[in-house]
Amino acid sequence: MGYADTIRGLLAEQPFLLAPMAGVTDAAYRIMCRRRGARLAYSEMVSVAGLAYASNKTWRLVLPEDEEPQICVQLFGSKPDQFAGAVEAVAERVGSRLTLIDINMACPARKVITKGEGCALMETPELAEEIVRACVSRASVPVTVKMRTAFRQGERTAPELARRLEAAGAAAVAVHGRSAKQLYTGQADWTVIDDVARAVDIPVIGSGDVFSAADASRMLAETAAEGVFIARGTYGNPWVFDDALKLAREGDAPAERSFVERLDALREHLGLTHRYLPLMSRARTYATWYLKGMPHAASWRGSVVRCSTYEEFMALVDEIEADVAACQ
């Protein structure tokens, strides 16, 4: 069985995946989602140059915690030799828990693309192929690629690039239905998923505008995607993976989570951040996602950004819960 079949088998079990998100998918975030149905989870975007310099800060992005049974590591850069070295180093450090190596050719951030990295690699297909070959030559796990529709607005280069990367050894490709120039604006074009699927024989993972379990289930049903990346749809909703799977397989509509259940999840998330991350500052972002729709949410969001310690965050959640109870 080839690596494409390995990926296809994993997607058949659970097609809904926690997408790699810079500044978001740390160990605490991954564990929250794993506990609610995300069987495959990805690291944040990891610099191959950072790994080359053996930065402890960079390695913190890679290494799974004890509770995590696996990790998919997403790498970015522009130098094939650094990718090859990074693949070897990651395999050595992560060991049997490494599920796959993913190459980022989708990030549209200016500080990334100005270095010829991320989605800029879609403009240099020969280099993109060379990077895939370098990774495949050193990897003992599948190598996959995440890309966009194209780098430039109005173009559609993903199908041809996917074909070339399959020939270079990629075991699967993910495609986000926007160009780099669109960033995250406008509407994602899901038809590119079908175009890419027609161009290759390896599995295709869809991405873009998946904000709910219903969106995820619809992408799987209405496109040629064998898997679906859920990114912004996880914000304040780590239950989306179980919900999407039940909806896709059984037609069960997702349950509406109560305010109390969401606040309990926030406490759990804060506890994981306190345990696994050096600082609580990241909680200022995700805590506000759990508060959406709650009484006086705007005021509470203002309080969240003033919290610095685990104790301050937990005390604030107690205040919010008391306020919710008084309003009901």
Positions marked active-site: 107
Residue from 222, 190, 120 nearest 131 by CA: 120
Question: Which residue in the block uniquely carries the two structure tokens 């495959």?
Answer: 40
Query: Do 188 and 157 touch, CB atoms closer than 8 A?
Result: no
- SS3 percent helix, strand, coil of the chain, rounded to 5, is 50, 15, 35
Q: What are the backbone angles phi and psi of residue 84, rounded to the nearest 5°? A: -60, -45
> What is the number of alpha carbons within 13 Å of residue 6 lying toward its C-beta?
13
Note the Cα 48 to chain centre separation in Å: 18
Give the other-Cβ count within 10 Å of 133's Cβ.
Answer: 18
Q: Rounded distance, CA 188 to CA 272, Å?
A: 33
**Tokens read off for 240:** 């989306």
Residue matched to tokens 């696996």: 70
Q: Are 206 and 11 in contact (CB under 8 A)?
A: no
Place of tokens 């140059």: 49
Map residue 104 onto helix, strand or coil.
strand
Cα dist from 172 to 38, 43, 206, 307, whole Å: 19, 17, 11, 42
Q: Which of 302, 172, 272, 179 is closest to 224 using CA atoms?
A: 172
Q: Alpha carbon of 263 to those of 60, 81, 302, 308, 323: distances in Å?
A: 28, 46, 17, 18, 12
| Residue indicated by tokens 């696994």 | 276
